[in-house]
Amino acid sequence: MTEEPLFIFDCHLDLSMNAIEWNRDLKKSVYEIRETEIGMTDKLDRGLGTVALPELRKGKIGLVVATQIARYVERGSLIPGWNSPEIAWGISQAQLAWYRTMEDQGEMVQITNLSQMEAHLALWFDKTIPDKGKPVGYILSLEGADSFVNISYLEKAYGYGLRACGPAHYGPGRYAAGTGRTEGLTAAGKELVAEMDNLNMILDVTHLTDKGFDEATSMYKGPVWASHHNCRKLVDNQRQLTDDQIKVLIERNAVIGGVFDTWMLTDNWVRGKDDPKDRNVHLELIVDHYDHICQLAGNSLNVAIGSDLDGAYGKEQSPYDLEDISDLQKLNGMLKRRGYSAEDIENIFYKNWLRFLRKAWA
């Protein structure tokens, strides 16, 4: 007898980036989208995507944190991005327009407060309604704050429902240095973090440098999470959280979303060259990171799912035993075999994020 899938809350998906920049119709299945990309070579993950709305419903992934993302880069940068903050803002607004269109068509629904979240959960836990007819709920987050032309744009974004923000992404940033750098928050970044605090937004520490992490967590008094992060103790690169950082987050009652990108699951991954099967990168490695955090915490209350699947990569840089995002359900059996209880697994699948938000939005 097939076990009934558990509800899942995934705290990091770049849905609108895939729709707007990758030109993917996410109303179609992953497999239909792959067919449309046969022969395309402009991006490494063409024909290899893993995320679309039908597969979210199939995997009972009924609530997600969905991003806007548009990085500004200076001329000559080796990192791709947009040529001005104003252009980046425009791209972020195109991404917002896509979410709004999905809402108009009943495919998605935006969640901005506790009452909306509870109503959405009641719908998804109603077994009399088939999951395939339910909208995917999304909480809007901004990954990297470069697209805020100035601080006033934070309030504009809060007005249209932005509820979480990570100041940094990759490389140098207008508000905070990100992955691959060592600098911390800029002066504008400290002003941004202070204003986020005034609005009781969620600070996402993902992609902050070690210095930026220390600065942000020291000055920020509101709710903090790490939407998609793994452990530096297991895979030694600066993109991962140190044990000391994990302990800071545990003390703050934060939740850490384990991420599925292979370069955060094995050492010395070479993008565009290495193969997940050849490198033996499988879903059990994610459970290793979950378990490490649980051992540091002494319980299962601070770790959850922040998959980042299709975050500018696809099957070529995902665990080899994951065909599409509905395979997140495989984690259930893997956690059971590690000795995790039904309550622990529910915590990791969705309850920790819900508990966090019920406190943050109370």
**In the 8-state DSSP scheme, what is residue 326?**
G
Tens of pLDDT, residues 267-324: 999 999 999 999 999 999 999 999 999 999 999 999 999 999 999 999 999 999 999 9
Query: Residue 99: pLDDT above 80?
Result: yes
Query: Residue 1: pLDDT above 50?
Result: no
Query: Residue 17: pLDDT above 50?
Result: yes
Q: Which helix H or strand E contains 138, and what residues bound it? A: strand 136-143
C-alpha to C-alpha distance for 316 and 272, rounded to whole angstroms: 8
Give the residue-averaged pLDDT of 221-243. Answer: 97
C-alpha to C-alpha distance for 328 and 165, rounded to whole angstroms: 25
pLDDT at 24: 98
Tens of pLDDT, residues 259-281: 999 999 999 999 999 999 999 99
* Rounded alpha-carbon distances, angstroms, from residue 95 to 92, 146, 200, 278: 5, 15, 24, 36
Query: Residue 206: pLDDT above 80?
Result: yes
CA angle (63 as vertex; 58, 68 as ends), nearest 5:
110
Tens of pLDDT, residues 33-53: 999 999 999 999 999 999 999
C-alpha to C-alpha distance for 338 and 125, rounded to whole angstroms: 27
pLDDT at 124: 98
Give the residue-averaged pLDDT of 131-146. Answer: 97
Q: What is the dihedral of CA 41, 43, 44, 47, to 10 degrees?
A: -70
Tens of pLDDT, residues 162-173: 999 999 999 999
Give the residue-averaged pLDDT of 105-120. Answer: 98
